[in-house]
Amino acid sequence: MNKILIVEDERILAISLKMDLEDAGYEEITMVTNCEDACQFVVQEAPELILMDISIQGDKTGIDTAEKISAFSNVPVIYLTGETDFETRRKAENTPNCKGYLNKPVNMEILEPLIQKVLAEA
């Protein structure tokens, strides 16, 4: 059973992604909206994958959150974001444990094989 953490502050997008993942056969999916909750979940539940938005609630970005988590966990991160500028993408892709960067809206035909690949490597 794969534990997946979705860090997304837009509730409708998070629910839609969760439903798509459930349709693909994933069952243990948790949604949070900010850095603090993401870090707490990683410590307590040790997910096998994080799907991370870059613009999240609070004063920390998804990039900041991934960097903070990397200090105490090797959980892989796939960024799912509307941020398309080169500098943001470069910064995200250079974070520890980054395994992918996909622009929203996310195509499940691209995301699902990437998730399978990342989980198989873990």
Closest-CA residue to 31 (of 115, 91, 22, 116)? 22
Residue 117 maps to a domain: no
Residue 114 maps to a domain: no
Q: What percent of the chain is modeled with pLDDT above 70? A: 100
- C-alpha distances in angstroms, 92 versus 14, 21, 88, 97? 20, 23, 6, 10
| Domains identified in the chain, total number | 1
- Binned at pLDDT 50, 70 and 90, residue 1 comes out as confident
pTM comes to 0.97
Residue 111 maps to a domain: no
- Binned at pLDDT 50, 70 and 90, residue 118 comes out as very high
- Binned at pLDDT 50, 70 and 90, residue 122 comes out as confident
CATH number at residue 95: 3.40.50.2300
pLDDT tens, 47-95?
999 999 999 999 999 999 999 999 999 999 999 999 889 999 999 999 9
Structural domain that includes position 76: 3-106
Residue 113 maps to a domain: no
Sheet strands side by side (includes 77-81):
28-32, 3-7, 49-52, 77-81, 98-103
Residue 120 maps to a domain: no
Residue 47 maps to a domain: yes
Residue 121 maps to a domain: no
Residue 116 maps to a domain: no
